[in-house]
Amino acid sequence: MFSAVLIANRGEIAVRVLRTLRRLGVRGVAVYAPDDAAAPHVRLADAAVEIPSYLDGAAVIAAALATGAEAIHPGYGFLSENAAFARDCAAAGLVFVGPPPSAIDAMGDKIAAKETVAAAGVPVVPGRSGRGLEDGELVAAALEVGLPVLLKPSAGGGGKGMRLVTEPGELGDAIASARREARGAFGDDTLLIERFVTAPRHIEVQIFADAHGAVVHLAERECSLQRRHQKIIEEAPSPFLTPAERAALGASAVDAARAIGYVGAGTVEFIVAGDGARAGDGSADGRPEGAYFMEMNTRLQVEHPVTELVTGLDLVELQLRAAAGEPLPFGQADVVLDGHAVEARIYAEDPSRGFLPTGGRILLLEEPPGARVDSGIVAGGEVGSRYDPMLAKVIAHGRDRAEALRALDSALASYTLLGVPTNTGFLRDLLARPEVGAGELDTGLVERVLPELTGRETPAWVPAAAALARMRAVAPTGDGPWDATDGWRLGEAAWSPHALVVDAAEHVEVRTRAAEVSIDGGDPVPAALDGDAIVFAGRRIPHRRVTGPDGTVWIGAEGRTWAVRERERTLRAGASAAAGGVLRSPMPGTVLAVKVAEGDEVGEGQPIVVVEAMKMEHTVTAAVAGTVTAVPVRAGVQVALDEVLAEITPKEAAG
């Protein structure tokens, strides 16, 4: 075993690797970009070195050599599947904790990967390689394969450049669009064509190999719950497969790994037709009917914890031991599954705004007891816009699938993060779907039911609690009769008005007096704060509550959060308070372009400012026609969520 290992990553995976290193008594070295100096993985490490970027392989290697590290663990993302970096590590006398560079190369190109595993007898999706084909030839190949088809970039994944084509007339535009996106994302516009599998399930097999020729599989994970081709909930084992199908699919994954001389942890991903034969009606060799190789990830997966919980194995430890040349300490017959595990990914994103990435300072963080949480965040930490929006993973285990799902829902209900909008409530709604409970999953399920999972109304007690919290914050500290803020006056008590905005979208008028509130002009309701609860209309509702430095009241309950702030009643001098007069940033990020100047006349829908975050561009347009009266931002500056980008005086107000 190594005496020191450098982790070339950040966030929850860096913390995850460091914990295993600490348990093994191995010194852990962290690297960090300048904006990550106070990150948890830096504080947890035995040593830490600043580097310009997590993609700067030369700086990572220099840090490893300077700190006496013998090996580099790349985590996932960044340099984890970079064959050139793996070769550079070897040239520097360092061990790359991953497969040989030749294996990374073999699986890094989707076309070459399909050809390699097909030669080893692993079934692949019917299709055609687009290598060297002009657009017209791709059209002909797609028609030959048979619509519907998927156009996929050969050089990369993550859903970038992927297009589903169902009609012949759509092929030309889809190919051109897929090429543009693939070229921009991967520097290579080569496409491949695959027949689209109807109602597909995404099932992946975890494999492990040592340098002595042993290869085993650790069963499969069901990853069909996805949004925009990104996994959000994963589980092990799949509810779809029988034990015989599990063994057959695992054998296919082992064959794929052997075909490229694999060493270490890897994942062989399959697409499985979900509308054909059900579990138990597999093909002649035992594989589920319609199961095809999709790709291989030559690294540890984000969702590896569910495999760890059902096998009892530490995959990071196994990676380190395999990289150190040790043989696998078990064989295939020794792999026994215990119960069921489910993982949910917590993202800094806002479901009510089309899942735009969010950010800001974490004001309060409470993680659920009794569940595993892999996290790279702490209270007081800043969530920026430079990196992937995944903040944490909540993983639950049960004796069976139903128990695991209940345990995960309970854990999410007690997960509280205030200061940054997240998808936690959305995940609970998804888990509550009857299709999920029944295991009737496919990769399109989330998109089909999305309208039913977003747009939930804000409970009336939330703005009431925010208004009462704001009243409490400004209450005088004296105990004299003139210090009371209960609205007392001769006659009946006076109302205090509060014009509030919930989650930057829902306008609510709240009035408070004594121990009652009125919402949007409704009848008064008894209400009072009682510690971490509000007594509202005779019901005591526990929740967590904190007020941010900008006066926003953050409220969390049952895994859901709300950000409530006071609405501006007027704009700056000379501007109108009409709806749409203030344009705010829909996400924290960087201003790429400002397309107007003060005094410009603009039309409704005209682009005003372009904001970029996590490689996602969003154009903010004018909600009203009028005159630009303020543009407080410029290209290149960082902006926070809901920061004012521009102010517009509507035409009717200006006149």
Any domain includes 104 = no
Any domain includes 180 = yes
pLDDT at 474: 67
Q: DSSP code of 653?
A: H
pLDDT at 654: 52
374/253 same-domain check: no
Split at pLDDT 50, 70, 90, the class of 110 is confident
Any domain includes 271 = yes
Any domain includes 424 = yes
**Of 338, 365, 390, which closes a domain?**
338
Q: Which residues does 307 contact at the CB level (< 8 Å), separation at least 6?
A: 206, 218, 219, 221, 236, 313, 315, 341
**Of 338, 365, 389, which closes a domain?**
338
Give the pTM: 0.85
Task: Supply the CATH number for residue 354's domain.
Answer: 3.30.470.20
Any domain includes 594 = yes
Q: Which residues does 79 contact at the CB level (< 8 Å), separation at least 6?
A: 8, 54, 55, 57, 60, 85
Percent share of the chain, pLDDT over 90: 73
**Of 143, 162, 195, which closes a domain?**
195
249/323 same-domain check: yes
Indicate whether 469 pLDDT > 60: yes
548/593 same-domain check: no
428/491 same-domain check: no
Indicate whether 510 pLDDT > 90: yes
- Residue pair 343/235 in contact (Cβ under 8 Å)? The answer is yes
CA 500 from centroid of its chain's CA atoms: 29
pLDDT in tens, 410-450: 999 999 999 999 999 999 999 999 999 999 999 999 999 99
The pairing of strands 200-209 and 163-165 is unpaired
Any domain includes 58 = yes
Any domain includes 105 = no
411/372 same-domain check: yes
Task: Supply the CATH number for residue 146's domain.
Answer: 3.30.1490.20
Split at pLDDT 50, 70, 90, the class of 485 is low
Residue 154: give the domain boundaries: 126-195
Domain count, the chain: 6
Radius of gyration over alpha carbons of the chain, in Å? Answer: 27
pLDDT at 450: 94
Split at pLDDT 50, 70, 90, the class of 94 is very high
351/422 same-domain check: yes
Lowest mean pLDDT across 126-140, 239-253, 351-365, 407-421: 126-140
Q: Which residues of 441-466 are buried (b: 16+ CB within 10 A; e: fewer)?
A: bbbebbeeebeebbeeebebbbbbbb
pLDDT at 281: 46
371/444 same-domain check: yes
Lowest mean pLDDT across 61-65, 126-130, 138-142, 252-256: 126-130
Q: DSSP code of 597?
A: -
* Dist. CA 20–CA 76, nearest whole Å: 16
pLDDT in tens, 588-598: 888 988 999 99
CA 428 from centroid of its chain's CA atoms: 15
283/375 same-domain check: no
207/334 same-domain check: yes
Indicate whether 509 pLDDT > 80: yes
299/352 same-domain check: no
Any domain includes 115 = no
Higher pLDDT: 573 or 4? It is: 4
Q: What is the mean pLDDT of the chain?
A: 90
Within 10 angstroms of residue 521's Cβ, the number of other Cβ atoms is 7
Task: Supply the CATH number for residue 466's domain.
Answer: 3.30.700.40
Amino acid at 643: E
3-state DSSP of 527-587? EEECCCEEEECCEEEECEEEECCCCCEEEEECCEEEEEEECCCCCCCCCCCCCCCEEECCC
pLDDT at 194: 87
- Whole-Å CA distances, 420 to 364, 552, 554, 562: 9, 11, 9, 10
Higher pLDDT: 335 or 181? It is: 335
558/601 same-domain check: no
- DSSP string spanning 227-238? ETTEEEEEEES-
Q: Which residues does 502 contact at the CB level (< 8 Å), separation at least 6?
A: 458, 462, 463, 466, 508, 562, 563, 564
Of 209, 245, 244, 239, the residue nearest 224 (C-alpha): 239
Indicate whether 280 pLDDT > 50: no
pLDDT at 84: 98
144/249 same-domain check: no
Higher pLDDT: 393 or 180? It is: 393
Split at pLDDT 50, 70, 90, the class of 284 is low
Split at pLDDT 50, 70, 90, the class of 578 is very low
